[in-house]
Homo-oligomer: A and B are copies of this chain.
Amino acid sequence: MTLAEIAKLVGAQESSGAGSLRRVSAAGNAGADAIVFAQDDAALRTAVGSAAGAILAKKSDAAIEDARILWVKDPKYAFAVCARALQQDDGEPLRHATAVVHATAKLGERVRLGAHVVIEAHAELGDDCSIGSCATICRGATLGNRVVVQPGSVLGATGFGYVRNAETGEYLLFPQQGGLVVEDDVEIGANTTIDRGALGETRIGKGTKIDNQVHIAHNCRIGKNVVIAAQVGISGSCTVGDGVVMAGQVGLGDHVTIGPGVILGGASGVFPNKTLEGPGQMFMGVPAEPLKDYLKNVAKVRRLK
């Protein structure tokens, strides 16, 4: 792409610079074919000193002039937009020969299946999905368009619900016959597990991003554009609102409700049946409390004699 095309792509003012851009990179290993980004003045100076062919920088930092600079509102975001536009097909066949797809499964257009992928009976995948190696999409799970699943994840397995025989102490599986719906643009890391519903469904909302080794239990309803970092565990029947952010290792007990826009700090935990609310409000600790209270309590204990 030319610098002018990049400028148009990221909504920057037109630039007088020339150049043919083929990749994004860090300033440290940028060549004339590379786009770099600078979030602040220091980074911008480094970028200007590099061999990069295009530099995405914040409009307000206009003290430095260079024909390669494209002034944008959010350089990091613009950089990601460029990366996506410059993404090249890796030339691999869409469907690896070792992928197992059940005869009753339905695949949309341009679905990419890695080696040893398993798509079970009655599963449905929308267009442009990409499923990593050794991942399993279980019986009846439904994925929207552009869903990305990294290797080793298991979507739609039997949930963990048992009823105890009061006399013998033995456990019997409660039926786990519900569905799993993963909406458009959800991206899921490696070795993550999301269970199907028991009688109802488990649902992951549009645009939600889920890291590695996350566990989401049966009957959860996760909202749209939720961010769930690695090793988070969400127990059964939780409701997580749109735009929630969960840092790593957060744990939710069952039937928890997290309101839209709430932020849960790393390793914080919420007791069963509790509700946390407040858009932009950050919670920390076990049991999770507002960040201010959490820090106060930590300080109070340290001050104790």
Q: Is A175 in contact with B211, judged by CB distance below 8 angstroms?
A: no
Complex-state Cα separation, A199 to B23, whole angstroms:
11
Across the interface, A233 reaches (CB within 8 A) one of B28, B193, B230, B286, namely: B230
Q: Is A180 an interface residue (CB 8 A)?
A: no
Contacts of A213 in B (CB 8 A): 191, 193, 213, 215, 233
For chain A, residues 66 to 80, give those with C-beta under 8 angstroms from any C-beta of chain B.
74, 76-77, 79-80
Q: What mask results when residues 235 to 255 of chain A are scored 1 for a CB within 8 Å of chain B, else 0?
A: 100000011000111010100
Q: A90-B121, A170-B225, A207-B171 given as contacts; is B115 within 8 A of A157 (CB)?
A: no
Q: What mask results when residues 129 to 161 of chain A are scored 1 for a CB within 8 Å of chain B, else 0?
A: 000111010110000000000111010011010
Across the interface, A80 reaches (CB within 8 A) one of B83, B138, B175, B217, namely: B175
Partner-contacting stretch, out of A1-9, A42-50, A294-302: A294-302
Contacts of A133 in B (CB 8 A): 100, 118, 120, 136
Q: Is A109 an interface residue (CB 8 A)?
A: no
Across the interface, A225 reaches (CB within 8 A) one of B169, B227, B271, B297, namely: B169
Complex-state Cα separation, A251 to B268, whole angstroms:
11
For chain A, residues 240 to 279, give those with C-beta under 8 angstroms from any C-beta of chain B.
242-243, 247-249, 251, 253, 266-267, 269, 271-272
Q: Is A25 an interface residue (CB 8 A)?
A: yes
Q: Is A163 in contact with B76, judged by CB distance below 8 angstroms?
A: yes
Q: Is B200 in contact with A193, judged by CB distance below 8 angstroms?
A: no
Q: Is B199 in contact with A193, judged by CB distance below 8 angstroms?
A: no
Q: Is B132 in contact with A116, judged by CB distance below 8 angstroms?
A: no
Q: Is A151 in contact with B154, judged by CB distance below 8 angstroms?
A: yes
Q: Is B207 in contact with A170, judged by CB distance below 8 angstroms?
A: yes
A95 → chain B closest CB, angstroms: 13
Closest 7 CB pairs of A and B: A83-B175, A26-B199, A154-B190, A160-B211, A118-B133, A100-B115, A193-B212
